Amino acid sequence: MSSSRLEAFSDGVLAIVITVMVLGLAVPKGDGWADLLHTSGLGLLTYLLSFVYIGIYWNNHHHLFQLHPTVSGGVLWANLHLLFWLSLYPFTTAWLTETRVALVPTVVYGLNLLGAAIAYSILQNTMARQPGGERVREAFGRDLKGWVSPALYVLGIALAFIVPWLALLPFIAVAIIWLVPDRRVERYLKAHQDAPGEDDAA
């Protein structure tokens, strides 16, 4: 089965998750800079952070399915599992913002990030075990980045119990690490001069 419809559906969910988060931004009652900063300042920062995460997942998802554009029933559900965690971002981001980075909301936000990271690993492994999955295995063989993210999320959750704001440091670090574009797939495809077929062009 071709992955094109799975990709389209995932794109739709991610596009909406991003945009729905903006709906969570409270519009200031007043009309001054102080109102904007006070009502929406933190919200804009957490929105930016969650936007970057969604962008990272979209980029990685895009790369992953370019390596391996056919899917089985197991991949369909592994993908829906990932989308479930990502669809909760607007909810946990809103709670984090409205409580001004209190302890429990920070932990819950971290657990949401962690859940999505684990779901992404499951998706990648499910695809690697499929027929044709050796391309995924080779390209992501020493998947250092894939392990650093969950570790940093766990660190953030732990730091939250000291001072909740501290948790944001490792969370932000993950975003920065991934913003450096992941060239592994491009390098792999170039090295093998082996495009995944006409499916990609469509």
CA pair distance 185, 139, nearest whole angstrom: 6
162 sits near its own copies (criterion: CB under 8 A): no
Phi and psi of 71, rounded to 5°?
-135, 150
Q: Which is nearer to its own copies, 128 or 185 (CB)?
A: 185
Which tokens hold the place of 156?
Answer: 């953030």
- 8-state DSSP, 41: I
Residue 87 has which token pair? 């669809």
Minimum CB separation from its own copies for residue 148, in Å? Answer: 19
Q: Give φ, ψ of 162 to 5 degrees.
A: -85, -70
Residue 165 interacting with its own copies (CB under 8 A): no
* Per-residue contact flags (x/-) with its own copies for residues 61 to 100, judged by CB under 8 A: -x---x-----xxx-xx--x--xx--xx-xx--xx--xx-
Residue 75, C-beta contacts closer than 8 angstroms, at least 6 positions apart: 3, 6, 123, 126, 127, 130
Q: Confirm or reject binding of residue 111 to its own copies (CB under 8 A).
A: no
Residues that bind its own copies (CB under 8 A): 1-2, 4-9, 11-20, 22-23, 25, 27-28, 30-33, 35-36, 40, 48, 51, 55, 58-59, 62, 66, 72-74, 76-77, 80, 83-84, 87-88, 90-91, 94-95, 98-99, 102-105, 108, 179, 181-183, 186, 198-202
